[in-house]
Structure 1
Amino acid sequence: MKLHRLVMQAFGPYRERVELDFDKGLAGSTLFLIHGMTGAGKTTILDAIAFVLYGEASGSDRSGTMLRSDFVDKKVKTEVELTFSLGEKAYRIHRRPTYQVEGNKHKTQGEASLYELADGNETLVASHPKEVTDRIETLTGFQCSEFRQVVLLPQGEFRSFLTAKSAERGELMTTLFHTEKYGVLEQKLKARAGVILEESKENQRKQEGLLEQAAAESLEALQKQAESERDGLTGKKEAAAAAGEKNAAAQKALADESVLDGWFEKLAKAEAAQKEDVKKQADVDGYRARLARAAKAATLLDKEANAEAAEKRAKKSTADAQRAEKALKKAEAIAADAQAVWASAEAGKEEREDAKLRVQKLGEAQERLQVLALLKQQAAEAETAAAKEAAAQKKALAAADEARKKVERLHLLERAGKAFSLARELEDGRPCPVCGSTEHPHPAVSEEVVPTLAEVQRAEKALSRAETTLAARQAAQAEQAAAAAALAGKLAAAWEQLPEGITEDAAAVQEAHRQAVKKAQDLEASYESARKSMQAAQVALSSARANVGSSRAHAESQREEAGKARQAFEAALVSEGFSDVADYAAAIDGSWRDASYREKVERHIRAFEDQKLRHETQRQEAVVQTEGRQRPDLAALKEDAKTAGAAWKQAVEEEKTAELRLAQEQKTIDALKKLAQEQAALEAKARIVGRLAQVACAEKPYRVHFQTYIQQSIFHDVMEAANERLIVMSSGRYQLERGREADGRSTDGLALVVYDAYTGKARETKTLSGGESFLASLALALGLADTVSRYVGGIHLDTMFIDEGFGSLDTETLDTALEALMKLQAGGRVVGIISHVEELASRIGDRIEVVKTPTGSTAHFVHGTLSE
């Protein structure tokens, strides 16, 4: 992993937004220092890297939710962003923690998003905190705890890999070098051997089951039994064929005689049906005569209906004319009343005009009161803003005074420091370089720390910024005061423009306006209603007068048409042969008036005639088929056919049973042969796979698992790479070796001890002093990084961070450790050292300087050592 850009905001001691551009800040350098006072926030940079990647801090005792800055306003969001690359792919990750802001009921929920960068575009990869963390673990190959052991070597946890138990060290080796695949191979070999064994047992069970079903002791016995069955099958086939011929003859005789019996049955049914037809003939003839009379009467139905309809229309038109005369009288009365109401409404015109003028006056008063309220609010806000700016000006004035005092004090300390430096050089008998005196009774002394030039310059810059802020606050305060005065003037002018008789009570004015509007609307509505009623009454009166005349003429016309229609109907009765209306009504009475009923009667008559013809045809056909023949005995023929069929069916079943039994036995023989071949192949596989599983899984007599053997081999390379540096850094005294755990076990080969050349004995790593432990841990971490990078498919570690530990080293050992770190630059790996040790700052030319202030820390890249 290579870091390109880190951004922090409201994170730990960093109040403001801090951006660290590693590409620009390091400019190709591969060793840099993160330097600053204790508590300034150096380790927080590692916390930010670990948090943005995994949602956890770099130290296991700090959680992501604890890292919100205490300096920031509650509206400012805590967030970290990191741009980094893995191989040829670049990514940007952004994360916010879950935290509780004082005064808020609910927590601010955590957020996270991961983007892949390519050709100037960003593609969203994950957008949920858990999803982003899982994706980072997949991309880097590390969980957060492993990232802290290999990439971020944090203060307090730097030595964890050195002092870890073998099992913990094995877990890290599995992650870094993907040795889990060898463990998977062990389990697959073991599982495969078990599967083959189970398949062999299952094969034997299948063979035993097949023999048991066939009631045979062995394959050979079953084959002999099948030969015997094959010989008996030929006789059964011959018996079934003979029985089949007898059955076919019996079935044919039954079928032929059943046809003849059917014709005798049809003859009897036709003769019985003809007797029934004779009984129904008289009723059918009666219906035929009645149908003819009803059909004649039906031709007069339309004329009857026309006469009745004309008489109904005449009666209705007469009633309509009477109602029209009554409506005319009512319309005349309504018109007179509406005229009177309209005259009264015309007299109230002046009252309506007065109501409209009052609505207009009250509406204008409401608008002026709204303007007045807005001006009062703006004036109050302007006064509040002016007071706020005055307070800010006062605070800026105090800050400027404090900064000025600090500069004066530093100048005083600087001058005193120069005198103190001169006084330290004075000796009795030697002349003073200032006054020339050889006696020095009162040389200058100082208990204060003499400030550096950089501190004086920073204080002067702080004073300049404070004075600039003060000037800006003074200008802003003057501007706010002017704005407040202008609004006060506008408010006074607005009071003078308020109409007479209107108070400041906006609610009362609003109520009066509402009532005035309602009164004006009511008066106007009454006037308009009277006008419309009068017009409607006049229209209705004219319509009623016209309607009376047309109704009278229409009634007379309808009465004439009714008389003509009745005469036409009575003339038609006589022409069709009916004596009078009663005779006609009897012919068409009840259902006979309905055409569908008459059609139904006609269909029944035709159906009866068709049925008579069909019965006669059936009788004649049956006579032809039965003439000169006797009816057969079907019961005896059916019994013969049944007996022959049963015999044939039994013979066929015996044949099929023998065939099925023989086929099943042959199928079992084939299956047993196939299972025997498969069993031989399984036994051959078991001999090979079983041996491989025994070796890989460390089953007796073998003692080392395949995955453990691989890890031991890789760990040997790690120790060799670590010892190359540890021997140099310890001046040949210490060397890492394999050892045993405290309980004496060493089967995994990952236990560590340190060999001490001074005593000639190995001892546990926990017995090393702080400085010695730091060197051993540093050598082991660097050796681990080299080995990871060398192995095919391993994770390439482009960047490492080391948090503190150098303060425990003497000068000579510090030189040796730095020399080892300098050699890493040849491989292109970037190493960041977090330390407040001044000697490191005087040796390492590139650093991130972390500055602590009363309102939060800042960080930026600096080039050149402190001595430069």
Structure 2
Amino acid sequence: MRLLRLELAAFGPYRERFEIDFTSFDADGVYLIAGPTGAGKSSILDAVTFALYGSAPRYDARPHLRSDLAGPEQATWVQLELAVGDRVLRVRRSPEYERPKQRGTGTTREKASAQLLELVDGVWQPLSSSAAEVGTEIGSILGLTKDEFLQVILLAQGGFAEFLAASSDERKRLLQRLFGTGSMQRLREMLLADAKQLDAARGELERSRDERGARVLEADAALDARESPEAEEASEEAAPGPVDEPALAGAESRLAAHVERADAAARAAAGTEAAAREAHRSATAIAERFVRRAAAEAELRGLEEAAGAVDADRARLAEADRAAEVASALDRWSRADADAEHAEASAAESAELLPEGVEPTLDVVAHEHQLAVDAGAFANAAAELEGGLPALERAAAQAVARAEEADRAAAAAGAARAEAPAQREAIASAREAAATRAAGLAAAERTLESVAGRLAARDEADSLAAPLRDARAAAAGTAAAQAEAAAEAQRLQAARIAGIAGELAGGLTAGEACPVCGALEHPAPHPPADDAVSADDVAAALAVGEAAMLAAREANDELASLERRLAGLEAVAGADDRASLTAELTAARAERDACAAAEAERELRNDELARHDERAAGLAERASALEAEAEAARTAAALAATRLDDARTRLQRELDGHESAAALLAAVSRRTRALRAWLDAEAQRARTLAEQERAAQAGEAALVSHGLLDRAAASAMRLEAAERTALRERIRTHDDAVASASGVLAQAELAALEGEAPELEPVERALAEATAASAAAARAAAAATTTRDHVAADLRAAREAIRSLAEGAEHAATVRALAAALHGDNELRQDIETYVLATRLGAIIDAANLRLAAMTDGRFTLLHDEATAYRRKASGLGIQVLDAHTGVPRTARSLSGGETFLASLALALGLADVVQAESGGVSLETLFVDEGFGSLDQDTLEAALATLDELRAGGRSVGVISHVQQMQERIPARITVVPERGGGSRIVVAATPVAAG
């Protein structure tokens, strides 16, 4: 795998978009990633990891990949191009992040996205656009998980320096972090937990066996104790035996026998109770018959004593029934007498109210009443005529008002028709004036635009005053600096030429030819000058002069640009100052607004003139119509006045001297009511007298038919319906009670009774004793059955525990032994995780020795110390160093700083080789080596760089991460991370140019 190109934007400390072309370092092989601590060097590797796997290790705990300096319009994304064998891939990812809304307040969420493409025949073809699918596809193509990728692409030899000097336990923790062997630890812990859980389960089975079995044996002993005290004493003295299958089988058999004996005893006691209950039932039935006979005899004697009062009630009820049969006829007779008396009184009162001069005879009053009814009809007609007068008066007034309004409307229409020509002339004049003013709108707008441009040019020209002063000062300063630098360079060149003889003399050696004359002897070499100037001094001065010349040229170019810009602005603005141009702009804007308003007014006047012509066209027609309406209204007013006069004349004739129709109607109504009242009263009196005679005849007949003397005697015999019902109920109740008592005494079972009633106490006592004995026997049987049923569950559980203990004994022993072995109870005293780590460590050391031998000329070799450690320390994780100079192994802590660095680098490279081999031999053409070079001496640094040169064999590209100045001097190709003011960083890429040839 080779990285080709990385692009990122708004990622980590990088606010803007940056690009790194890794192919530009192909000629160098080794390049430097430099920058101060915290600038963002590691964020470049974070971006690579995020592009490939969707996460970065430093951000896993806080997934905040977006730059805090990014603006709301900036998107966060990373794009990586890489080559894997013959395939060229491009992966682009964006994380999920919150960003400020571009409009309004608050934030909005951008969803994570990913896209994987492959370059096929010069065209990028999509492979996947799902974040999960891209990660899976990348892992399949590279053959590395994220952790493996980080282990082999980033060689953190600083951690291996710590690894070399660590104790066995510390080295174990470091290897755990490198290889992630937590699964082995979890396997060991899982087996230990399984063994512990298995022991607990077997302990629980043993407790279940003992407790459940003990309950079975105790239940057997308890039933024995209930049957006989001797068994209870024997059970108390006997020691509890072991809980095994024979003991449980014996207890089960004895429990069944207990239940069988208890059931038989319960059945016998139940039979005895049934016989006693039948004897008690028979005695109780005979005693109850004696009680019933005595009660019936006593009740019959009481009824015979009350028979006289009941006979009196019968006689009183018979009289009341006869009186009730004539009650309706007598009540009618009484009502007829009262109605006749009231009708006589009403007739007398009506006669006193008759009008004066009218005799109280039927014919006279009837005739007068008919005359009064006829007069009422005439009074109603007068009232109706009088009621219609206000409407006629209003109609006449309204007709006059309508006629006057119609006259006024006709006059107004005529006046409007006469004024229309003058109004039209005024509107036309106003339209022409507005059109004349609006014609100057285009010219006014051009003038306004021209003045506005001149004012803007004047403002911009005035704003250049300060930059021009600064530019002139800068040009003068850089010119002076250039002159000074040129003078200094000339001085140094002269001094260099003057002292060249002494410099050449300093390099002469006896017997070697002089570079100037070729002589082999040098009898009088020129002494070196005290203030000798070297070639480097001259080159530095020339460089300073060249830089000063460039600065002066740039300052002059800036000044010339500003002056050209000012000249152009002055040409546009003219000679007027800002105040004059502002006043001219105000006047031009006012003229433009006035012309625009006149144009709008012209359109309004056009519309107004069209509306006026439309109105004037209808004025003549409307005036003629209004004049016709006025004539018709005057005719209607005259007709309404005539109808009103006719109505007033007829009303005076109908009133016949009365003040009003209401007075006439009131007089007629009073006379009619008085006559009608006498006629009604007389008719009612005649009807009541006839009803009185009929009612008297019917009442006399009813008295005679029922043998009653008169109305008074019948009233004395009457009773209310409720009283008669109560008498009838008392008589019926007495008769029913006599019949019931007589019927009871007549029953055969009572008539056959002889002697005295039997005694119940002896049979009740016998029944109670039998019932108690039966209940006790039933309880004993139920208790025995319940005990047996309860013990059945304990019995099954105890037997199941015995069986499970026997079957699981071998498995439990196997699990305990395996858990102990994985926990370190073995010959090596290594748990499973330490064993795996020791195997990995041996492979790493073998791979590291291939590098270390080359870097140290075969002097040092790392040894894997597998000796058993004591005091519970990790075994098999020791590292020693064999020094070829002494042939004696020694501790890695005895290495010097440079030797430790080389050994650490060898271990880091060995780790990369092991992980790469375990991942299927994945080819990695891009590697990164982390810090640690700053403390090396010259020889060690050379050895390290030689090893890095070996790494780039076959086209590998190696990036060295360091902020040390010495590395920057040794490695010219670099990626520099530069912090910026205000926050964030930028990336500067500088590769060594490839020489042409």
Partner of 1:726: 852
Shift in CA distance, 711/30, structure 1 to aligned 2, threshold 3 Å: farther
Which residue of the other structure, out of 669, 673, 694, is the alignment partner of 2:799?
673
Partner of 1:658: 784
Residue correspondence of structure 1 range 336-415 to structure 2 within 5 A: 390=464, 393=467, 397=471, 401=475
Partner of 1:592: none
Partner of 2:877: 750
Shift in CA distance, 114/649, structure 1 to aligned 2, threshold 3 Å: same
Q: Is 1:80–1:95's contact at 8 Å kept on the other side of the alignment? A: no
Which residue of the other structure, out of 823, 838, 841, is the alignment partner of 1:697?
823
Partner of 1:240: 266
Partner of 2:185: 183
Partner of 1:786: 913
Q: Is 1:116–1:123's contact at 8 Å kept on the other side of the alignment? A: yes
Any stretches of 5+ residues in structure 1 without a counterpart? 99-107, 126-137, 297-377, 432-438, 498-548, 579-600
Partner of 2:206: 204
Of stretches 703-712 and 857-866 in structure 1, the one that deviates more from structure 2 is: 857-866
Shift in CA distance, 396/703, structure 1 to aligned 2, threshold 3 Å: farther
CA RMSD in angstroms comes to 7.4
AA of the residue aligned to 1:674: E
Shift in CA distance, 836/618, structure 1 to aligned 2, threshold 3 Å: same
Partner of 1:532: none
Q: Is 1:18–1:859's contact at 8 Å kept on the other side of the alignment? A: no
Shift in CA distance, 657/64, structure 1 to aligned 2, threshold 3 Å: closer
Partner of 2:404: none
Which residue of the other structure, out of 920, 933, 950, is the alignment partner of 1:820?
950
Shift in CA distance, 444/34, structure 1 to aligned 2, threshold 3 Å: closer
Q: Is 2:29–2:955's contact at 8 Å kept on the other side of the alignment? A: no
Matches of 1:674 and 1:459 in 2, distance apart? 100
Q: CA deviation at 1:54?
A: 6.1
Shift in CA distance, 233/804, structure 1 to aligned 2, threshold 3 Å: closer
Matches of 1:480 and 1:247 in 2, distance apart? 138
Larger of the two Rg values belongs to structure: 2
Q: Is 1:383–1:481's contact at 8 Å kept on the other side of the alignment? A: yes
Q: CA deviation at 1:813?
A: 2.4
Q: Is 2:859–2:885's contact at 8 Å kept on the other side of the alignment? A: yes
Shift in CA distance, 180/836, structure 1 to aligned 2, threshold 3 Å: closer
Any stretches of 5+ residues in structure 2 without a counterpart? 100-105, 117-125, 133-143, 219-239, 332-451, 505-513, 518-525, 593-659, 693-719
**Does residue 26 of structure 1 match 2:23?**
yes
**Does residue 712 of structure 1 match 2:838?**
yes
Provide the secondary structure at the position in 1 that maps to 2:40: helix
Partner of 2:41: 45
Shift in CA distance, 648/41, structure 1 to aligned 2, threshold 3 Å: closer
AA of the residue aligned to 1:677: R
Q: CA deviation at 1:712?
A: 0.6
Q: Is 1:115–1:122's contact at 8 Å kept on the other side of the alignment? A: yes
Shift in CA distance, 444/167, structure 1 to aligned 2, threshold 3 Å: closer
Of stretches 606-615 and 388-397 in structure 1, the one that deviates more from structure 2 is: 606-615
Provide the secondary structure at the position in 2 that maps to 1:17: strand
Residue correspondence of structure 1 range 531-680 to structure 2 within 5 A: 627-630=747-750, 642-665=768-791, 667-680=793-806
Partner of 1:217: 241
AA of the residue aligned to 2:173: E
Q: CA deviation at 1:19?
A: 0.9
Partner of 2:352: none
Q: CA deviation at 1:231?
A: 3.6
Q: Is 1:207–1:672's contact at 8 Å kept on the other side of the alignment? A: yes
Matches of 1:30 and 1:754 in 2, distance apart? 37
Q: Is 2:865–2:876's contact at 8 Å kept on the other side of the alignment? A: yes
Q: Is 1:82–1:92's contact at 8 Å kept on the other side of the alignment? A: yes
Partner of 2:622: none
Shift in CA distance, 643/233, structure 1 to aligned 2, threshold 3 Å: same
Shift in CA distance, 172/624, structure 1 to aligned 2, threshold 3 Å: farther
Partner of 1:831: 958
Shift in CA distance, 205/155, structure 1 to aligned 2, threshold 3 Å: closer
Provide the secondary structure at the position in 1 that maps to 2:952: helix
Matches of 1:685 and 1:240 in 2, distance apart? 51
Residue correspondence of structure 1 range 451-470 to structure 2 within 5 A: 451=543
AA of the residue aligned to 1:217: G
Q: Is 2:46–2:57's contact at 8 Å kept on the other side of the alignment? A: yes
Deviation per CA, 1:492-531: give whole Å up to 9, x if none: 889999xxxxxxxxxxxxxxxxxxxxxxxxxxxxxxxxxx
Matches of 1:642 and 1:778 in 2, distance apart? 106
Deviation per CA, 1:755-795: give whole Å up to 9, x if none: 32233334444554554433322221111122123336999
Q: CA deviation at 1:694?
A: 2.2
Q: Is 2:977–2:988's contact at 8 Å kept on the other side of the alignment? A: yes
Of stretches 796-805 and 656-665 in structure 1, the one that deviates more from structure 2 is: 796-805
Matches of 2:180 and 2:866 in 1, distance apart? 24
Residue correspondence of structure 1 range 123-134 to structure 2 within 5 A: none
Deviation per CA, 1:524-561: give whole Å up to 9, x if none: xxxxxxxxxxxxxxxxxxxxxxxxx9x999999x9999
Residue correspondence of structure 1 range 498-537 to structure 2 within 5 A: none
Residue correspondence of structure 1 range 259-408 to structure 2 within 5 A: 390=464, 393=467, 397=471, 401=475
Provide the secondary structure at the position in 1 that maps to 2:19: strand
- TM-score between the two structures when normalised by the length of structure 1: 0.53
Matches of 1:270 and 1:393 in 2, distance apart? 142
Q: CA deviation at 1:708?
A: 0.8
Q: CA deviation at 1:112?
A: 11
Partner of 1:859: 987
Q: CA deviation at 1:716?
A: 0.6
Matches of 1:156 and 1:797 in 2, distance apart? 21
Deviation per CA, 1:300-351: give whole Å up to 9, x if none: xxxxxxxxxxxxxxxxxxxxxxxxxxxxxxxxxxxxxxxxxxxxxxxxxxxx
Q: CA deviation at 1:751?
A: 3.8
Q: Is 2:39–2:979's contact at 8 Å kept on the other side of the alignment? A: no
Shift in CA distance, 854/182, structure 1 to aligned 2, threshold 3 Å: closer
Q: CA deviation at 1:804?
A: 5.5
Matches of 2:543 and 2:39 in 1, distance apart? 27
Q: Is 1:81–1:95's contact at 8 Å kept on the other side of the alignment? A: no
Partner of 1:773: 900
Matches of 1:867 and 1:42 in 2, distance apart? 35
Which residue of the other structure, out of 858, 861, 880, is the alignment partner of 1:735?
861
Matches of 2:759 and 2:473 in 1, distance apart? 133
Q: Is 2:9–2:75's contact at 8 Å kept on the other side of the alignment? A: yes
- TM-score between the two structures when normalised by the length of structure 2: 0.48
Matches of 1:698 and 1:54 in 2, distance apart? 36
Provide the secondary structure at the position in 1 that maps to 2:877: coil
Count of equivalent residues:
650
Q: Is 1:738–1:752's contact at 8 Å kept on the other side of the alignment? A: yes
Partner of 1:192: 194
AA of the residue aligned to 2:943: T
Matches of 1:270 and 1:43 in 2, distance apart? 124
Residue correspondence of structure 1 range 461-480 to structure 2 within 5 A: none
Of stretches 786-795 and 687-696 in structure 1, the one that deviates more from structure 2 is: 786-795
Provide the secondary structure at the position in 2 that maps to 1:659: helix
Share of identical aligned residues, percent? 23
Shift in CA distance, 246/172, structure 1 to aligned 2, threshold 3 Å: same
